[in-house]
Structure 1
Amino acid sequence: MRQPLFDFVVRWGARGALLGLAGCVDAYLPDIINAPNRYLVVDGFINGNGVTRIKLSRTENVAATAAPPVEKGAKLFIVDNTGQRYALTEKTSGNYQSDSLLLAASRQYQLRITTADNATYQSDATVLKVTPPIDKLGFRVASNQVQLVLSTHDASAQSRYYSWSLVETWQFNAGLESTLEYYPKLNGPNHSLMDTRTTPIYTCWRTEQPTTIAQTTTSQLSQDAITDYVVRSFSDRAERVKVRYSVLVSQYTETPEEFAYRELLRKNTEAVGTVNDPLPVQLTGNVHRLDNAAEPVLGFVGAHTVQAQRLFINKADLPAHAPTYYDTPYTTCGESYLYFCDDQGTCDVAGVIKLFASPDYVPLDYTTVPRAGISSASADCADCRRRGTTTKPSFW
């Protein structure tokens, strides 16, 4: 699944309003920004060698703080130029999915949508682009940046327009390690217990999908080949590479029209906010409402096969650094101490233990200095599940 491209556009409406410039420049807010219209947003593509996933939502007024509304209860079909139909079903609200398909490259395909209120939409029929495999996926470190580099080619010179999406996963550790765990009511309703930890909370995995648009073209080159294209770059201080990092790169080839649409989308979402940036422009996709051609619709539904490769980067693969070299959310974390007895010798062991009934605090270990008690930390510092999952990915 490609990264969600429309978060910015959904907020600003189908006409692509102008952004207010930073600093002392007054924001320009056209009437369209505050208009009540909620236009359909279609996010996804027809997958020629796998599962097609389409997200339907509606544009939202720029002043709204809630997430853009999803379009539930629609009926979606992929249709080819011979009349063959493939249904998509709604898996979660606004998210529609087909079975795994193997589509014929000789045909043209379009997406047809009927909303719950019987409005009908369809994308323009388009050829199925067959994507060549990724020849090489690797990385290099340059100027304190980890660069993910990719090479590919099409000997038939039929691809020319390339796009990539990434899903990143990395292993990380919490800022502080806990060896103790609070067990409530093990000895009856009025008793709790502090014992050796059995629930893992130190090592987790986090997955993110970058929203930046990575694409390039060989249309001006004599050969349809790309060598060491940087599809992603991030600081070598990033937490991603402190322990182990993995990225799944999916490659697509596009029609010139889809490439141009995504290039405008990239400029609208990634290159606005300063005086020297280009102004946002209206996005005209290939999805239309059949019973109201004047209604704007956001989205471009292409059709292509997908090629993917996974890359791993281990800590040992990079130049060695001290643990403090890396930027993590845990740099300000520290321990606090709860003692069983106060300075006057009054003790309340059970009361101290029960303080950890709160999920916001984690016991770390026993301490005897300067007196018996428990070291502790906030869950944000000691429980990695606040930012990830302790379930190891199947590909790890």
Structure 2
Amino acid sequence: MKNFKLHSIIFFLSAFIFNSCTETYPLLTNTYEEALVVETTITNELKNQEIKLVKTAKFEDESYLPESGAEVYITDNSGHRYDFEDQSDRYVSTVAFQAAPGIQYQLHINTKDGRSFESSAETLTPINPMQSVTAEIETIDTERGVTIRARSFDPDNKSKFYRYEYEETYKVVTPKWVDTKAILNANGGVIFVPNSPDTKVCYGSKKSSTLLLTDTNGLSEDKINYLVRFISDQDYIITTRYSILVRQYVENLAAYNYYSTLKKMSGNENILSPKQPGIVLGNIRSIKNSGDKIIGYFDVASVSTERIYFNYADLFYGEVAPPYYTDCKEFCYAEIPFNPDPCTHVPPFVDDIALKKVTYFLTGSQFTFWVNSPCGDCTTIASNIKPAFWID
């Protein structure tokens, strides 16, 4: 453990020194100890529960490797066993089940190379549904925007420790879409073809990637009014219509302390990354060899979810919508060389069309305009598949 921390310190000092130089040096891991990384929260939702199981990565690695071929299952003190099957980078339960109050659950992992791990026995935390999720205009540190707040109240004062996640989805409408676009033919020349209407409206989606924690321990009331998300009023994701799904987990003290420590160590990095700057001890251990390392926490927590929608025009009535994702200024060149301004004669951007950096389109018999590609084709930044849950 001390050697691992020392290596981390050396890495960060080296990064500081190298960043102060004019020449870039590749940073490589001098020593590397492989460990399993477990990410899972078993909840009281009736569903196929999931367990993410990967290997730690070296600092210079661009991706991580899943731990495939392991035997993964959960047992409870009522004699039930729930098996999980390998599905790429995660294991999914073969049957749907939900954590029930008063039952003890334990995670078991047997890897294909003979390592075995098990968690401590965990019980479901108190069930305390959120009362509401709201979107309101507020100014925070001089910045105006939309706050997404989760509110809940436990009259029994038993919940105390909370963790939040969110998934946001937003409608993207291309501001410069027209029914004609330019593509390259087989000879590398520019030709104009009908533009698909499927490139006009898209849906973007993002998930929270940092730990969102709060507690009421030491307060007279177990009442929550937590700021889950702040969105600037100049952020394009709220330009048209926006939706957010908020999940509230009630944690026990041990799990809350684990996540709090992990948050402090990870800083602004993605807390779900297996590239950790140190090892945070969780509630899972090796049962064969103490030298086999595992990182993570087997979490059994009650969950409450709520989804809300809002339109920009509803909150910011009469105000100009935020600027688009990128500059959508129209540039043009005259098909007739002597045609006067306002069009400036520029050569066709054949290479940029091939790389899908720009979109050409016709607006009459004389001029061909082009814009940055997302301005005329939203599929370059989002999906044109409407989510099943989406309500207009």
What TM-score comes out, normalization by structure 1 length? 0.79
Q: Is residue 113 from structure 1 mapped to residue 109 from structure 2 by the alignment?
A: yes
Aligned partner of residue 262 in structure 1, secondary structure:
helix
Q: Which runs of 5+ in 1 are unaligned?
A: 1-11, 273-279, 345-351
| Counterpart-to-counterpart distance in 1, 2:309 and 2:4 | 39
SS for the counterpart of 2:266 is helix
Q: Is the 8 A contact 2:42 2:98 kept in 1?
A: no
Match of 1:42 among 38, 45, 53: 38
Write the deviation string for residues 161-213 of structure 1: whole angstroms up to 9, x where unpaired.
Answer: 1111100111123353232145898xx99999745433421221111012121
Which runs of structure 2 are paired with 1:214-363 in the superposition (5 Å)? Answer: 214-226=212-224, 228-270=225-267, 282-319=279-316, 320-323=318-321, 325-326=322-323, 328-331=324-327, 333-337=328-332, 340=335, 342=337, 358=354, 360=356, 361-363=358-360
Written as runs of structure 1 = structure 2, the 5 A alignment for 1:190-205 is 194-205=192-203
Q: Is the 8 A contact 1:39 1:58 kept in 2?
A: yes
Q: In the aligned structure 1, how far is the partner of 2:7 from the partner of 2:202?
A: 40
CA contact (8 A) 2:179 2:197 kept: no
Aligned mates of 1:103, 1:14 — CA distance in 2? 36
Gaps of 5+ in 2: 20-27, 270-276, 340-347
CA distance 1:318–1:190, change in 2 (3 Å): closer
Partner of 2:149: 149
Q: Which amino acid aligns with 2:180?
A: L
Q: Is the 8 A contact 2:99 2:300 kept in 1?
A: no
Q: 1:175 to 1:287 in 2, by over 3 A?
A: farther
Q: Does 1:59 align with 2:56?
A: yes
One-letter amino acid of the counterpart of residue 291, structure 1:
K
**Does residue 377 of the first structure (1) align with residue 386 of the second (2)?**
no
Structure 1 position 340, deviation (Å): 4.7
Alignment partner, residue 209 of structure 2: 211
Distance verdict in 2 for CA 1:195–1:296, change over 3 Å? closer
Distance in 2, Cα, partners of 1:191 & 1:266: 53
Q: CA deviation at 1:152?
A: 0.8
Give the Cα–Cα distance (whole angstroms) in 1 for the partners of residues 268 and 355 of structure 2.
42
> What secondary structure sits across from 2:363 in the alignment?
strand
Supply the distance in 2 between the matched residues of 1:300 and 1:354 (Cα, whole angstroms): 52
Match of 1:127 in 2: 123
Give, in angstroms, the shift of residue 237 of structure 1: 1.3
Aligned pair 1:82/2:84, yes or no?
no
Q: Please give the alpha-carbon distance, in whole angstroms, between the structure 1 residues aligned to 2:352 and 2:279.
A: 54
Which amino acid in the other structure matches residue 198 of structure 1?
Answer: S
Corresponding letter in the other structure for 2:285: H
Pair 1:136 & 2:132 matched: yes
Q: Which position in structure 2 is the counterpart of 1:4?
A: none
**Structure 2 residue matching 1:110: 3-state secondary structure:** strand
Supply the AA of the counterpart residue of 1:317. Answer: D
Contact 2:210 2:268 (8 Å CA) reproduced: no
Is the alpha carbon distance of 1:71 and 1:175 closer, same or farther for their aligned partners in structure 2, counting shifts above 3 Å?
farther
Shift of 1:109: 0.6
Equivalent AA in structure 2 for residue 170 of structure 1: Y
Contact 1:17 1:33 (C-alpha < 8 Å) held by counterparts:
no
Q: What is the distance in 2 between the residues matched to 1:15 and 1:255?
A: 31
Aligned AA (2:123): V
Cα shift at 1:13: 7.0
Tell me if the contact between 1:46 and 1:78 (Cα under 8 Å) persists in the aligned partners: no
Query: Displacement of 1:283 after TM fit?
Result: 1.1
CA deviation string 1:276-330 (max 9, x = no partner): xxxx76411111122122333111111123210001121123224324x44x431
Q: Deviations over 1:328-353 (max 9, x none)?
A: 4312x333435555569xxxxxxx89
| Partner residue of 2:12 out of 11, 20, 28 | 20
Matched, 1:71 2:70: no
Q: Give the secondary structure class of the aligned counterpart of 2:260.
A: helix
User: In structure 1, what residue type is equivalent to 2:110?
Assistant: T
Structure 1 residue 392 and structure 2 residue 374: aligned?
no
Change (3 A) 1:257 1:355: closer
Q: CA deviation at 1:260?
A: 0.3
Residue 24 of structure 2 corresponds to which residue in structure 1?
none
SS of the residue corresponding to residue 20 of structure 1 reads helix
Q: Compute the displacement of 1:148 (Å).
A: 0.9
SS at match of 2:58: coil
Distance in structure 2 (CA, Å) of the matches to 1:23 and 1:356: 35
Asked whether the equivalents of residues 69 and 111 of structure 2 are also in contact (C-alpha less than 8 Å), the reply is: yes
* Alignment CA distance shift 1:15-1:97 (3 Å): farther
